[in-house]
């Protein structure tokens, strides 16, 4: 039986030929395909200016700089995400201020956000975890009442919607990811949705060494920017992917619906919050009942692999990583993030999966958990 990966991009022949055409054109770096891809992304989010990046990580860092965050500032962000969400704050000399997340949505606990705001707070950096939007009305209400910028980590959320409005079509600065495991891909890449053409121009400078070109054959450097411009090769992939996004996301929703249906009664794992039609389901990551099992999470992963099923882990709690422990963060500060970090497993979910693949995953997980449950000892 073939091994079932936990994710896999869907790249069609037409997209492959787009890349071949770019390779044959001789223009491989940022050029006409990047401009075309940015225009398509802008149209997708309602006409807001968009600039493409080599990664969402680069996008987050640049977005924070464009938002005016710098040394000595504080940025409030969740204790559960990929490490890059907090790393970019440190890289610009600011300090991440962590708050806990909801156990089931994995999104920021907004009551804790309000409590964490202090005199040095400059921005909020929420994550739309697995594509489930944070409560945007309340989030932006908090930001407005305290005069804060918002940089949305929407790495999981291309195609997600809040109350019928696409993530990225409103709000402040919004950053998408096009890594191969995301809902669409450019191979590696990301994008920033900005508010104005002036902000977009500043993003351009940040992504290309701080360079400005006042006239043909002339250039100047205004600040030490980074090198984060997308290539035409990557943009060609994105141009093939973006028109398929809605179909990809619909298939993800159908597969997740089958997971929930198969685990409708007494599920052996703690399932994530279901969300609504606005959830794009970047991944499906329930929690293992480790306290009732005789195996570790790693052993669960190994037993699933023996059945031909790949399982991932998304994510460990950020504040318990070494670089953040060195800043004084400790166990017990964010219990939900810590529990998720211990118990989470990412089960297969990608558009090319079949319904029978979901059944196979469910049956394998049920079997492994049934085989390894602790036997209650009568007192």
Residue 66: how many other CB atoms lie within 10 Å: 21
* Residue in the block written with tokens 């807001």: 48
* Contact criterion met (CB below 8 Å) for 172 and 152: yes
Give the residue among 41, 52, 30 at the shortest CA–CA distance from 200: 52
Angle subtended at Cα 276 by Cα 270 and Cα 277, rounded to the nearest 5 degrees: 135
Judge whether 182 counts as a catalytic residue.
yes
How far is it, in rounded angstroms, from Cα 293 to Cα 300? 10
SS3 call for 26? coil
Angle at Cα 270 formed by Cα 269 and Cα 273, nearest 5°? 140
Q: What is the DSSP letter of 284?
A: B
- The kind and range of the H/E element at 166 are strand 165-166
Block residue for tokens 């166990």: 331
Catalytic residue among 3, 165, 182, 244: 182
Helices assigned H by DSSP within the chain: 13-25, 32-44, 56-66, 84-91, 110-116, 136-146, 197-207, 232-241, 245-262, 297-306, 322-325, 335-343, 355-371
- Cis amide leading into 371 (omega within 30): no
Catalytic residues: 182
């Amino acid at each position: 039986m073939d091994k079932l990966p936990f994710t896999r991009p869907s790249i069609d022949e037409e997209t492959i030929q787009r890349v071949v055409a770019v390779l044959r054109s001789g223009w491989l770096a940022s050029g006409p395909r990047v401009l075309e891809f940015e225009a398509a992304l802008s149209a997708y989010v309602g006409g807001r200016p968009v600039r493409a990046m080599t990664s969402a990580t680069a996008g987050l860092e640049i977005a924070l700089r464009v938002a005016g965050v710098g040394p000595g500032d504080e940025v409030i962000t969740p204790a559960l995400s990929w490490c890059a969400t907090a790393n970019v704050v440190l890289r610009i000399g600011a300090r991440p201020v962590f708050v806990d997340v909801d156990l089931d949505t994995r999104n920021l606990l907004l009551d804790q956000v309000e409590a964490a705001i202090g005199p040095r707070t400059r921005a909020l950096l929420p994550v739309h975890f697995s594509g489930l939007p944070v409560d945007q009305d309340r989030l932006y209400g908090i930001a407005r009442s305290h005069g804060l910028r918002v940089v949305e980590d929407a790495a999981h959320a291309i195609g997600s919607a809040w109350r019928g409005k696409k993530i990225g079509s409103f709000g402040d600065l919004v950053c998408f990811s096009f890594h191969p495991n995301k809902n669409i891909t450019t191979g590696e890449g990301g994008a920033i949705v900005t508010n104005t053409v002036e902000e977009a121009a500043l993003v351009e400078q940040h992504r290309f060494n701080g360079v400005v070109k006042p006239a043909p054959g002339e250039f100047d450097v205004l600040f030490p920017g980074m090198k984060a411009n997308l290539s035409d090769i990557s943009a060609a992939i994105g141009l093939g992917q973006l028109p398929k996004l809605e179909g990809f996301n619909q298939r993800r929703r159908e597969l997740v619906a089958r997971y929930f249906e198969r685990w409708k009664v007494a599920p052996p794992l703690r399932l994530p919050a279901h969300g609504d039609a606005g959830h794009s389901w970047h991944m499906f990551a329930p929690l293992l009942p480790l306290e009732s099992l005789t195996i570790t999470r790693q052993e669960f992963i190994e037993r699933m692999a023996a059945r031909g099923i790949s399982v991932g882990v998304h994510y460990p709690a950020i504040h318990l990583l070494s670089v953040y422990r060195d800043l004084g963060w400790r166990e017990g500060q964010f219990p939900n993030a810590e529990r998720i970090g211990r118990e989470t497993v990412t089960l297969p979910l990608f558009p090319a999966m079949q319904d029978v693949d979901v059944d196979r995953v469910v049956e394998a997980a049920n079997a492994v958990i049934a085989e390894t449950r602790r036997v209650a000892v009568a007192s």
